[in-house]
Amino acid sequence: ASLDRGARLIYGIRPEHLTIGQGPVAAEVVLVEPTGAEIQVTAKFGADHLVATVRERLDLRAGDKIVITPDLSKLHLFDAKTEKRLRSV
């Protein structure tokens, strides 16, 4: 699919493809949900929210500041106008 220059994109990534504790994305913890072997961490950055799923036992609470790294090899790109997937790796 071809896009016009300046076209708006939606970036998608699965919760298990996010790493907490290092990275370029600064966020604030909103909710920490232990789910057995994993922990789901809901965080906000700017006006957006994301959920990271981690297996490590992290001592996090709502309001904590964290940094997150997305695994860019696992990203999905969508055309914001049509919502059709453009690329996934």
**CATH number of the structural domain spanning residue 50:** 2.40.50.140
**pLDDT (average), residues 34-55:** 93
Task: Answer whether residue 1 is part of any domain.
Answer: no
Rounded percentage of the chain residues whose pLDDT exceeds 70: 93
**pLDDT (average), residues 38-49:** 94
Task: Answer whether residue 69 is part of any domain.
Answer: yes
The answer to whether the beta carbons of residues 65 and 26 sit under 8 Å apart is: yes
Domain around 52: 9-88
What distance in Å separates the CA atoms of residue 86 and residue 1, rounded to the nearest whole number? 7
**Across-strand partners of 48?**
45
Q: How much is the mean pLDDT over the chain? A: 89
How many domains does the structure of the chain reveal? 1
User: What is the pTM (predicted TM-score) of this model?
Assistant: 0.80
